[in-house]
Amino acid sequence: MSLAAYGHCLRGVVGRELLRFVHQRSRFVAALVRPLIWLFVFAAGFRMALGVAMTEPYQTYILYEVYIVPGLVGMIQLFNGMQSSLSMVYDREMGSMRVLLVSPFPRWYLLICKLLAGTLVSIVQVYVFLAIAYFYGVQAPLAGYVLILPALVVSGFMVGALGMLLSSFVRQLENFAGIMNFVIFPMFFLSSALYPLWRIREGSYLVYQIASLNPFTYAVEMIRFAMYEHFNAEATLIVVATTAVLLGLAILAYNPARGMMTRKAGAGAE
C-alpha cells in the first residue's frame, strides 16, 4: 500500500477518536476536575499539615504545588490511557473494533494509530489543565511548556499500551471498569507523583522500593524534568523501554493467530 493510504488510515482513526472526545464533554470535564481538586484541595491540606498560616511566607505552599503539577499531568494521562482502552473494549463488543482490525492495514499499525489518537486526546487535556494551573499561579518556565511535549507523547504511549494490553484480557465492558481501579490507584499512589522518592523512603522503605520499580514513577519524573527545562536520561530510557515491551505484548495479544483474542473466541465457542 502507498504512504497516502497509510496517512488516510491514520487520519481516519485519529479523527474518529477526536470526534468522540469532542462529543463526550463529560469525559473532558471529568479529566480536568480530578487533578484540579488535587491541586486546589490537596495542596491546601498540605499547607495546613505544615502549619503554615495564611499570612506566612508562601514559598513552601507554592513549591509543593509546583512539584505536584507534573504528577497531576501524569494522572491525566494515566486515566485517559485507561479510558481509551475502555473504549476499545466497548468497540470490540459493538463490533467496530473487529471491522477496524480486518482492514488490509497491518494490525500493529492500526493499534499504534489507536494509541496515537488516545495520546493526542490526553495531550489536549494536559495543556488545558496546565493553562488553568498557570492562571492559578503555578507557573513553569515558558520553554517548559514546549519541552514537555515529547515527554507527554512517550508517557502517553506507555500508559496507553498498558491499557491496550489489559483490554485484550477483558471480555466484558463491566469487568474492565473494576480492573481500571486496581491498576490506576496503585500505579499513581505508589509513585513519585505526589512526593519525592527520598521523602517516601523516609516514611516506608518498602513503599520506596515499590515506587522505584513502578514505571509510572519514571514517566512522572520525565515529565517533571522536561517541564522545568531538564532532561532525565534514566527516566526517559526506562519509559521508552517499558513502552516498547508493553506495546509488543499488546500487539501480540491482539494477533488472532497467537494472542488472547483467539483464545477468547475459542472459549466462547465452547
Q: Is residue 264 part of a domain?
A: no
What's the confidence (pLDDT) of residue 64?
63
Contacts of residue 243, defined as CB under 8 A and 6 or more positions apart, other chains included, come to 154, 157, 158, 161
Q: Is residue 58 part of a domain?
A: yes
What's the confidence (pLDDT) of residue 240?
96
CA–CA distance from 258 to each of 111, 178, 182 (Å)? Answer: 16, 26, 27
Q: Is residue 104 part of a domain?
A: yes
- Are the C-beta atoms of residues 168 and 115 closer than 8 Å to each other? no
What's the confidence (pLDDT) of residue 259?
45
Domain count, the chain: 1
Q: Is residue 265 part of a domain?
A: no
Put simply, whether the predicted model's pTM sits higher than 0.85 gets the answer no
For residue 137, which phi and psi values (nearest 5 degrees)?
115, -5
What's the confidence (pLDDT) of residue 101?
66
Q: Is residue 82 part of a domain?
A: yes
Q: Is residue 212 part of a domain?
A: yes
Total residue length of the chain: 270
Q: Is residue 25 part of a domain?
A: yes
pLDDT, one tens digit per residue, over 7-52 is 877 887 788 777 777 777 777 777 788 888 888 777 665 655 444 4
pLDDT tens track of the chain, all 270 residues? 677 877 877 887 788 777 777 777 777 777 788 888 888 777 665 655 444 444 444 444 455 667 788 999 999 999 888 887 777 777 666 666 666 666 777 888 888 888 888 899 899 999 999 999 888 878 888 999 999 999 999 999 999 999 888 887 776 666 666 777 788 888 999 998 888 888 888 888 999 999 999 999 999 999 999 998 999 999 999 999 999 999 999 888 877 655 444 444 444 444
Q: Would you state the cell numbers that stand for residue 79, as one nine-digit string?
A: 486515566
Give helix 25-37 / helix 107-136 axis angle, nearest 10°.
50
What's the confidence (pLDDT) of residue 55?
43
What's the confidence (pLDDT) of residue 202?
85
User: Quick one: which of 250, 256, 79 has its CA closest to 165?
Assistant: 250
Q: Which domain holds residue 230?
A: 3-259
Q: Is residue 245 part of a domain?
A: yes
What's the confidence (pLDDT) of residue 266?
45
Transcribe 211-234 into DSSP letters: HHH-HHHHHHHHHHHHHTT---HH
What's the confidence (pLDDT) of residue 61?
44
pLDDT, one tens digit per residue, over 34-46 is 888 888 777 665 6
